[in-house]
Amino acid sequence: MSQGAQDGKFFSRGKLQEIREDLHKALTKGDKKWDKRKTILKRVLANMTMGNDMASLWGDIMECLNTPVFEVKKMIYLYVMNYARIKADQIDPAIRSLLQDANDRNPLLRALAIRTLAYIPLPIAMESLCDPLRHSLRESDPYVRKTAAICVAKMYMFDHRMCEREGLVNSLRAQMMDENVTVVANAMAALSEIQERGDTQLIKLNASTALKLTVALNESSEWGQIYILEALMNFVPQRPDDALALGKKLSIRLQNTNSAIVLTTIKVLLYLMNYMNDRDEIEELCHKMGPPLVTLLSSGPEVQYVALRNILLIIQRRPTILRNDVRVFFTKYNDPIYVKLAKLEIMYRLATENNYKEVLVELGQSAAEADVDFARKAVRSIGRLAIKVPNSSDRCIGLLLELIKSDASYVVQEAAVVIKDIFRRYPSEYESVIPQLCAKLDLITEDPESKAAIIWILGQYADRIDNSHELLDDLAYTFLEETKEVQFALLTAVVKLFIRKPQEAQGLVAKVLQVATEEVDNPDLRDRGYMYWRLLSSHASAAKDIVLVNMPPISTDTDRMERGALDQLLLHTASLGSIYHKNPEGFIRTARPKYLADSPALNSTSRAVLVRAPDLNAPTQLPAPASILPTTPSGIRELAGSPLLGDIGEDEGAPAPMSMGQLVDDGDGEDDPSAGITGNGAAAERTSSQYDPYAELGAVLGAADGDDTDSARRREESEPLF
């Protein structure tokens, strides 16, 4: 069509004076076919795009407003939208022209006029918009009506009082019944947004209106379908049959090529399932979801990523979906890293007694990949798999030993961490591998978590490792330079060593206790040191029972997200929240929490775990950081996907909306030094959940860890950027 356009030449800095003179010439000396104006305006827009200030041309450009050409008008209006705020005092001619166009015979121009006027963030523009907008909402042309619907939302965002006072929200509600589906869809979109900002429930649906909307879906454009599907989330079924009938009608939407329609349909279906009671029917619907979800994996990588992160949530709530499809999540060599990481998590989750062999081969491949982060997570997944699927543990250990032969330090480090967990899960089964791991000790440097893990192994199995005292002695040499996590591990390991091999360790334990109590600044570490010191000096026999107590086994039960929290999170399917596995109010300032609504139809399992809206009248209590620490051994939680999983759990206990401040608290809680205590049962396993291998996934700044969230927030507040 217009391959011939050569507007690229305008992308060079234009001198204001020059442009102004050219414009004057065009205005005074005739402008055949308006070509000169077009050229000049293009130059202005190109400069505006590049960030050069063109505001001082305002007056001159206003003189072109009467040009009766669509293209010129569109360019001028674009300019107006851009500089209206700065030129608020000279806005009148632009508004006059827009109001005139809003009465034009041409519907496209009428729509352009109100659309543009509503983009001008000035009270005078909004005031003059009221009348034409009210008229447009009811006029004969559907194109203008659908544009007007969105304009109401624009005005509401600017001044919600005026919008309500002028009765525009009510007119918009009337549009829900419009004969034209595009108008209905846009009205739904606008109302949903207004509802999200305001306090009133604007979209009220009963079983029959909801079904009527499904008919509108048939005729709607693809985007319109999404707006209508989103609006259907406002329908709270009162009878299980209503939920089922609607679900069945909607399930055909899964056959659309637009991934957003597929995922939004799944969101509505998963929501409705909470109100269904026929298990077979629910299964039937679940079955329909599987294939379209797999098909999303043949979209572009960005959509694949969105789909994968959602799949990870969906299969936790509805495990039958994709149960037999683990192969489709095998990574391709050329998948982008974010797709690979997301697939890895799903592979682990879909691994069972039946397919673990294939999965292990895949994980082995992944562990050999060049991307360090990915390889680390693959190694970690192998360890998790050993714990999740008991039959697989022999092979997992074998594979881990194979992998550490590569001598890649990060592989050895991760392997140390997971082997420690495997020891905990299957005590005394794999101790024969200790020598092989110890042989790689020199590769475990820097990374504190793996260092702490290997130290734990050395302490725990001190009597079975011939030179354990020498190795620990070496490690303790740099005690003061270590992170507190490693220091805690060392302290405990040395005490264990002393109890097991009193002769060899006497000197070492004295040295470490002395350093820990005298030279360390961290009060917790000092306290721990004193505690051991007194224990060993006053009750040496009791010390053995306390320090070498049998530890409760760990499991992967805590991998799974709480059912109620999942139900809540799934209300955000397809959205950012579902990608970060985090309720949006936790990371978006304006977002409001959503809750599954109670109704007579809500099935008993969903009701049992219902996450309720907080009672605003009740005094809100911030949970103390300590309460975030699980009271039972948490075992392995990493693969549950989000480092903020803890928050979601916490959110359940005290469902006050999360604030950023609380997130930061959580981060501190995770760093709680008591987490480093090993050999003391309860808190021992925190070490394994401290480092979340998926923390950086999605490069979510907020999700990475508490500190980052905090700094991101600070950055945001200090810069006037946003």
Q: Pick out residues in 22-61 that bind another protein (CB under 8 A).
A: 33-34, 42, 45-46, 49-51
Tell me which residues in 261-300 interact with another protein (CB under 8 A): 262-264, 284, 287-288, 290-292, 294-295, 298, 300
3-state secondary structure labels for all residues of 368-379: CCCCHHHHHHHH
**Cα–Cα distances in Å, from 14 out to 29, 38, 44, 53, 578?**
22, 15, 8, 10, 46
Please list every residue from 143 through 162 that binds another protein, using CB under 8 A: 143-147, 150, 153-154, 157-158
Site for another protein in 396-435 (CB under 8 A): 406-408
Nearest to 689 by CA among 643, 632, 721, 658: 643
Q: Tell the smallest beta-carbon distance from residue 721 to another protein (Å).
A: 5
Of 269, 265, 338, residue with least CA distance to 306: 338
Q: Does 234 contact another protein by CB under 8 A? A: no
Asked if residue 682 lies in contact with residue 631, where contact means CB atoms within 8 angstroms, the answer is yes
- Residue 538 near another protein by CB under 8 A: no
Site for another protein contains 388 (CB under 8 A): no
String marking each residue 92-131 x if it binds another protein according to CB under 8 A? -------------xxxxx-x---x--xx-x----------
Q: Which helix (H) or strand (E) holds 512?
A: helix 502-514
Q: Cα(29)–Cα(236) distance, rounded to whole angstroms?
A: 66
639 close to 349: Cβ distance less than 8 angstroms:
yes
Residue 368 near residue 406, CB atoms below 8 Å? yes
User: In angstroms, what is the minimal distance from the CB of 409 to another protein?
Assistant: 10
Candidate ranges 138-146, 311-319, 509-517, 525-533; the one touching another protein (CB under 8 A): 138-146
Stretch that binds another protein, among 445-453, 571-579, 606-614, 641-649 (CB under 8 A): 571-579
Instruction: Please report whether residue 221 would count as binding another protein according to CB under 8 A.
Output: yes
Q: What is the 3 state secondary structure string of 134-153?
A: HHHHCCCCHHHHHHHHHHHH
Q: Please report how close the Cβ of residue 228 comes to another protein at its closest, in angstroms.
A: 13
Count of residues of this chain found to bind another protein when the rule CB under 8 A is applied: 140
> Which token pair is 661?
């401040």
In which residue are the tokens 């905990």 written? 424
Q: Is 361 in the site for another protein (CB under 8 A)?
A: yes
Q: Rule CB under 8 A: is residue 718 a binding residue for another protein?
A: no
The least distance separating another protein from the CB of residue 183, rounded to whole angstroms, comes to: 7
Q: Which two tokens stand for residue 563?
A: 């059912």
Q: Is 302 in the site for another protein (CB under 8 A)?
A: yes
Out of 24, 70, 467, 620, the only residue in the binding site for another protein (CB under 8 A) is 70
CB burial of residue 4 (10 Å; 0-12, 13-18, 19+) = exposed
3-state secondary structure 289-341: HHHHHHHHHHCCHHHHHHHHHHHHHHHHHCCCCCCCCHHHHCCCCCCCHHHHH
Residue span binding another protein (CB under 8 A) among the ranges 205-213, 392-400, 518-526, 581-589: 581-589
Report if residue 177 touches another protein, rule: CB under 8 A: no
Query: CB of residue 354 vs another protein: minimum separation in angstroms?
Result: 16
Q: Which residue has the tokens 């632009």?
A: 94
Query: Structure tokens of 242?
Result: 């209503």
If you search the block for the tokens 């079975």, which residue do you land on? 464
> Taking contact as CB under 8 A, which single stretch among the options 420-428, 502-510, 572-580, 624-632 is the one that binds another protein?
572-580
Q: Does residue number 210 form part of the binding site for another protein (CB under 8 A)?
A: no
With CB under 8 A as the contact rule, the residue among 61, 183, 236, 434 that binds another protein is: 183
Piece of the chain touching another protein by CB under 8 A; list 3-11, 236-244, 495-503, 551-559: 3-11
> Which of 21, 71, 429, 474 contacts another protein by CB under 8 A?
71
Token representation of residue 657 = 């909306």
Residues 619-658 that bind another protein (CB under 8 A): none
Query: Which residue lies nearer to another protein by CB, 76 or 491?
Result: 76
